[in-house]
């Protein structure tokens, strides 16, 4: 199939209401680019000038309409974890079809779960050997996108981040460290808190997606987000407590403990298969993208400060808490279940 040439600068961000999508819309608009913010309900995502459009990514026709005229389509959709196997392939295929139909590059916000067990930093050349069901699914998705590009249907960029932290993010790291540090409570850490770690600040992910979308010279590129060198879980938690003015109390939990909790709590069972990442070095090497695109990373000190600022601004919490939908979306539930 011949792809029509893309025209203009319009970026369509699908999943624009999520933690990554929202920041991506803001950064693209700040760079002076026309942006379409695609959410299921067409809501305002907080960036003046962004065009809100409603489309469910499981509806191919609506999605293609929402992407029309775009030079770049960003795949920032994450279905609820319980329906990943059912919905992620449907959404991904619909995004490939939509981007291909309108002649846009498709940029996919990926993670590193397809690499599986590693002994050192993960690069774009690390073999894909997933050890979790969710890692197998992520490998399948990336493979499907790259295959569509190889078949000449569209241009694709896969951008991979480590575990995210930052305003609005729900992840194992984000959920377990920052609110606890702010309130002077015990930080529950899944895995070994003293292993090398490169958590990704959400703005760095969004910036990489924006820049790669505009500048990727390849038809099928895989890029890792640059990080500011390594830290550890303990060092990150210590920095959060230092900035919050609280005393660090850290309680590590291994896979066995989380599995045991999983006998009672389904969310803990889902989380247990991902704890392996924190029982080995979890380092994402983004030096290739740093060199290619001149991307730099937010120092942990700054990322922690901005995360704590956002949490302070979001208080008081209980009434505004979003419902628990997945381990990635509200992982703080898992150690809570462990510790009772």
Ligand X SMILES: NC(=O)c1ccc[n+]([C@@H]2O[C@H](COP(=O)([O-])OP(=O)(O)OC[C@H]3O[C@@H](n4cnc5c(N)ncnc54)[C@H](OP(=O)(O)O)[C@@H]3O)[C@@H](O)[C@H]2O)c1
Burial track 294-320 (b if 16+ CB lie within 10 A, e otherwise): ebebbebeebbebbbeebeeeeeeeee
DSSP one-letter code for 332: T
- In the block, tokens 């002994």 appear at 119
Sorted by sequence, the CB contacts under 8 Å of residue 4 that are 6+ apart come out as 102, 103
* 104 vs 169 by CB, closer to ligand X: 169
| Binder among 10, 15, 25, 121 for ligand X (CB under 6 A) | 15
- List residues bridging with 284 in a β-sheet: 122
User: Residue 171 interacts with ligand X (CB under 6 A)?
Assistant: yes
Q: In the complex, what is the shortest distance from the CB of residue 34 to ligand X, in angstroms, rounded to a whole number?
A: 20
Q: Does 159 bind ligand X (CB under 6 A)?
A: no
Q: Are 26 and 46 in contact (CB under 8 A)?
A: yes
Helices (H) and strands (E) in the chain, counts: 12, 11
Q: Which of 6, 39, 126, 298 binds ligand X (CB under 6 A)?
A: 39
Taking CB under 6 A as the criterion, the residue among 19, 33, 70, 244 binding ligand X is: 19
Q: Which span sits near ligand X by CB under 6 A: 160-168, 176-184, 236-244, 266-274?
A: 160-168
Do the Cβ atoms of 279 and 192 come closer than 8 Å? yes
Q: Which of 164, 197, 211, 275 binds ligand X (CB under 6 A)?
A: 164
DSSP per-residue codes, 158-205: EEE--SEESTT--SHHHHHHHHHHHHTPPEEEES-TTS-B-PEEHHHH
Which residue among 163, 204, 216, 283 contacts ligand X (CB under 6 A)? 163
Structure tokens at 193: 């808190």
Nearer to ligand X, 171 or 198 (CB): 171
Distance (Å, whole) CA 233 – CA 252: 10
Stretch that binds ligand X, among 53-61, 179-187, 287-295, 315-323 (CB under 6 A): 53-61
CB of 48 to ligand X, least distance (A): 19
In the complex, what is the shortest distance from the CB of residue 25 to ligand X, in angstroms, rounded to a whole number? 11
Residues 6+ apart with CB under 8 A from 265: 333, 334, 337
The CB-of-210 to ligand X minimum distance in angstroms stands at 14
Interacting span for ligand X (CB under 6 A) from 158-166, 178-186, 237-245, 288-296:
158-166
Contact 23, 169 (CB under 8 A): no
Residue numbers 270-329 binding ligand X by CB under 6 A: 328-329
Query: Nearest-CB residue to ligand X?
Result: 18
Cα 86 to chain center, whole Å? Answer: 19
Binding mask 110-149 for ligand X (x = CB under 6 A): -x--------------------------------------
The yes or no reply on residue 79 touching ligand X (CB under 6 A) is yes
Sign, CA torsion 318/323/326/328: negative
Interaction between residue 232 and ligand X (CB under 6 A):
no
CB 129 within 8 A of CB 123: no
- The answer to whether residue 233 forms part of the interface with ligand X (CB under 6 A) is no
| Whether the Cβ atoms of residue 248 and residue 237 lie closer than 8 Å to each other | yes
Q: Is residue 57 a contact residue for ligand X (CB under 6 A)?
A: yes
Question: Which residue, 141 or 180, is less far from ligand X as judged by CB?
Answer: 141
Q: Site residues (CB under 6 A) for ligand X?
A: 15, 17-21, 39-40, 56-58, 76-79, 91, 109, 111, 161, 163-164, 169, 171, 328-329
């Amino acid at each position: 199939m011949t792809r029509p040439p893309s025209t203009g600068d319009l970026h369509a961000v699908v999943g624009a209401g999520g933690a990554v999508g929202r920041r991506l819309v803001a950064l693209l608009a700040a760079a002076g680019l026309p942006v379409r913010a695609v959410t299921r309900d067409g809501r305002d995502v907080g960036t003046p000038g962004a065009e809100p459009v409603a489309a469910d990514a499981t509806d191919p026709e609506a999605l293609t309409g929402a992407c029309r005229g775009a030079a770049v389509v960003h795949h920032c959709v994450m279905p609820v974890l319980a329906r990943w196997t059912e919905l992620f392939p449907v959404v991904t295929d619909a995004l490939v079809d939509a981007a291909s139909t309108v002649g846009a590059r498709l940029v996919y916000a990926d993670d590193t779960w397809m690499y599986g067990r590693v002994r050192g930093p993960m690069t774009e050349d690390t073999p894909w050997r997933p050890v979790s069901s969710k890692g197998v699914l992520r490998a399948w998705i990336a493979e499907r996108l790259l295959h569509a590009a190889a078949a000449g249907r569209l241009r694709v960029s896969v951008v991979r981040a480590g575990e995210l932290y930052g305003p609005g993010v729900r992840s194992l790291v984000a959920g377990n460290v920052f609110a606890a540090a702010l309130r002077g409570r015990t930080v529950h850490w899944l895995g070994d808190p003293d292993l090398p770690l490169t958590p990704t600040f959400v703005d760095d992910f969004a910036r990489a997606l924006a820049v790669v979308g505009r500048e990727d010279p390849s038809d099928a590129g895989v890029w890792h987000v640059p990080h500011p060198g390594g830290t550890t879980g303990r060092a990150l938690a210590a920095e959060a407590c230092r900035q919050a003015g609280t005393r660090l109390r850290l309680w590590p939990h291994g896979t066995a403990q989380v599995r045991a909790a999983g006998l009672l709590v389904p969310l803990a069972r889902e989380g247990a298969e991902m704890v392996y990442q924190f029982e080995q070095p979890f380092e994402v090497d983004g030096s290739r993208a740093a060199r290619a695109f001149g991307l730099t990373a937010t120092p942990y000190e700054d990322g922690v400060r901005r995360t704590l600022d956002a949490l302070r601004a979001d208080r008081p919490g209980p009434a505004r808490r979003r419902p628990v939908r997945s381990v990635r979306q509200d992982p703080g539930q898992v150690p809570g279940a462990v510790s009772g």
